[in-house]
Amino acid sequence: MNQPKRYLNIVSEMRDMIREQNIRPGDRIPSERELAEKLAVGRSTIREALRSLELLGLIETRRGEGTFLADPRKHRLVELLATFILQDNKTLEDVRETMCIHETAAIQAICASDASKLPVWESLRERLGGHEFIREDFVRELMVLSGNRLSLKIWFLLKQYGGNPYDGEVMPEERPLLKNILQAIEQQDAETAIRDFKAWSSVLIKGENEQWR
């Protein structure tokens, strides 16, 4: 009889243990040696289970300290998917277009919500007026304000893979355009905001931003 693998049992037993003992993200998990004794298996078996969970980003191990339950928001779904998705069709065009999909969706979400009335929004306006404002910060701030963490993660990852079009600092000549975008969002005019945003980003992507130098 081909017995079921032990380490798979360990995986589910650990999941139960985490649930029952109400271990929260960031909390410490019993040490490998403790677990081995408690579950009556060898330490190497425990480790095989832990390594699997670590690769998934479900736990975090720090040598000398211990093993900790990871923040669910740090799960590696996207990263792992990326290694398998992006290996064949990394058509740069698709990456850029998909980034744009998420960006416009974010703007739309902000317009449809009250996000532009939060204090965070005001600070974004102020930073746009100040010096040393990085382009990427502007877009990322919009992604964050959309409230969809998964979308944010996907966007962030695409940015890494597709070459960051938002590299560098906002030039003085760009500022009016960005201010228009913010204003349109405040007025919940998604259409205008998206049009202006696309105008801005397409210039960056085409590398024609030397006009702002």
Enumerate binding residues for DNA (CB under 7 A): 1-3, 5-7, 29, 31-34, 36, 40-45, 47-48, 50, 61-67
Distances (CA, A) of 99 to 40, 93, 148, 163: 49, 10, 14, 11
Distances (CA, A) of 177 to 23, 50, 112, 170, 193: 48, 50, 21, 11, 10
Cβ proximity to its own copies, 32 vs 186, nearer residue: 32
**Binding region for its own copies (CB under 8 A):** 2, 7-8, 11, 15, 44, 47-49, 51-52, 54-56, 58, 63, 72, 75, 77, 80-81, 83-86, 88-91, 94-95, 97-98, 101-102, 104-105, 148-151, 153-154, 157, 161
The entry of its own copies, DNA, none that residue 153 binds, CB within 5 to 8 Å by partner kind: its own copies
Q: Helix crossing, 6-20 with 32-39: angle to 10°?
A: 100
The entry of DNA, its own copies, none that residue 135 binds, CB within 5 to 8 Å by partner kind: none
In whole angstroms, the minimum distance from the beta carbon of 28 to DNA comes to: 8
Cβ proximity to its own copies, 112 vs 171, nearer residue: 112
Cβ proximity to its own copies, 134 vs 190, nearer residue: 190
Q: What residue type is 47 in one-letter code?
A: R
Cβ proximity to DNA, 5 vs 90, nearer residue: 5
Q: What is the largest CA-CA distance in the chain?
A: 73
The entry of its own copies, DNA, none that residue 127 binds, CB within 5 to 8 Å by partner kind: none
* DSSP state letters, 89-144: ---HHHHHHHHHHHHHHHHHHHHTSSGGGSHHHHHHHHHHHSS--BHHHHHHHHHH
